[in-house]
Structure 1
Amino acid sequence: MSQSDRLLLGVITGAKGIRGELKVKSFTEFPEDIAAYGPLENKTGETTFDVSLVGMSKSQPVIRIKGVTDRNQAEALKGQELYVPRDRLPEIEEEDAFYHTDLVGLDVINEDGNRFGRILRLNDFGGGDILEIVPEGKGKKSSVLVPFTKEMVPVVDLEKGHIVVNLPDDFFEVPDKEPAESSDGSR
């Protein structure tokens, strides 16, 4: 099974308690759904994890993996990525909803039709999805972040393999720093 046939659902962030429970950073729409799709796999697909949800801890799911019975075994799994075969996930019915994996690697085109770059990854730092884009002719260290909103990304065309961005002319300009006011109101 190729990587495109599998989706990353979460990453184990650490042990919880002494009986082998694990905290997971979930990438599912509802974090508690991490165990809803059946057995999960490691990145290579060679190891399968029989996962059950046992609770939540600070908005992170707490899971149990069959065979993991103590804290030492749980700690050894920290950083383990958890994948699911794509065919176990529901089809997306909403027009403006996408699996992140379908967007990674798409070409990015400006509204004038010129190629801007390619999507490296999607991030969510708490304020919504952000596209990380590598501009045309630049390396990964030169990536830029663009909010994944309808205003900034008016077109997503999976069939054509690209998105269209509508960036304001001053999008990449850094505003001049205003002088700080003193406590008496003067500058």
Structure 2
Amino acid sequence: MCGKGTCIVQLVVARIGRAHGIKGEVTVEVRTDEPELRLGPGAVLATEPASAGPLTIETGRVHSGRLLLRFEGVRDRTGAEALRNVLLIAEVDPEEVPEDPEEFYDHQLIDLDVVTVDGTAVGRISEISHLPYQDLLIVKRPDGGEVMIPFVSEMVPEIDLEEQRAVVDPPPGLLDEAEAEVATGREETPS
């Protein structure tokens, strides 16, 4: 969102899960590579739905491999349960970049042109899907279709923010079903 000379990008950094205990703590599904920066005590986060927030993190701790948070004003299990499935959103300056040069924020990738290593246009990144084991680039094709490309270095060897493009090296069949049939020797024969 932009206004009066300043722009802010909103990043979904977590989804609130189940209540934990009776004192208002909740489990969270972390959706950021920088939880210590985005989900630390004192952080004020917008929410989706907006009616649930904003929420200020009072405390955080790890218990049995899960991050537990408590928010200011949420003191019991009932209040914690009411927050289940709420998305936590951090507001970030669009010029801010991750410390690791191999990492990117979603807003940096959305709308990048996608081309293969030989320069063939594939489409444009419309969304990033964050799955438990890997992220997927959702690419809108010129014909209106979509293709999902795993965001791993073997398949996305280059992100060029200056040129506003992502270079992909997909295996046969990822972009074109006919390629998959030829690659596996399963070409359909007319009957």
- The TM-score range, normalised by the shorter chain, is 0.7 to 0.9
2:159 alignment partner, SS class: strand
The SS at the match of 2:144 is coil
Cα distance in structure 2, aligned partners of 1:89 and 1:54: 28
Q: Distance in 1 between matches of 2:164 and 2:94?
A: 24
Aligned-residue offset at 1:24 = 0.9
CA distance in 2, matches of 1:34, 1:24: 13
* Corresponding residue to 1:164 among 163, 167, 170: 167
Deviation at 1:150, TM superposition (A): 2.3
Q: Residues of 1 paired with 2:142 and 2:25: CA distance?
A: 45
The 10-residue stretch of structure 1 (90-99 or 27-36) with the greater mean CA deviation from structure 2 = 27-36
Structure 1 segment 133-144 matched on structure 2, within 5 A? 133-139=139-145, 143-144=146-147
Q: 1:95 to 1:38 in 2, by over 3 A?
A: same
CA RMSD in angstroms, aligned pairs only: 3.1
Per-residue deviation at 1:124? 4.2
Tell me, in whole angstroms, the C-alpha distance in 2 between the residues paired with 1:88 and 1:74: 32
Q: d(CA) in 2 for partners of 1:92 and 1:62?
A: 24
Aligned residue for 1:183?
Answer: none
Name the CA distance, whole Å, in 2 between partners of 1:60 and 1:105.
33
TM-score normalised over the length of structure 2: 0.74
Match of 1:92 in 2: 98
**Cα distance, 1:10 vs. partner?**
0.7
The match for 2:13 is 9
Q: Within 1, Cα distance between the matches of 2:161 and 2:66?
A: 31
TM-score by length of 1: 0.75
Q: Percent identity?
A: 30
Residue identity in the other structure for 1:73: G
What are the ranges of 5 or more consecutive residues in structure 2 without an aligned counterpart?
187-191
Write out aligned runs for 1:174-185 (5 A): none
Contact 1:103 1:119 in 2 (8 A): yes
- State the 1:49 CA deviation: 1.1
Q: Shift of the alpha carbon at 1:45?
A: 6.6
Unaligned runs of 5+ in 1: 178-187
Alpha-carbon distance between aligned partners in 1 of 2:8 and 2:154, rounded to the nearest angstrom: 28
Structure 1 residue 89: deviation in Å?
A: 10
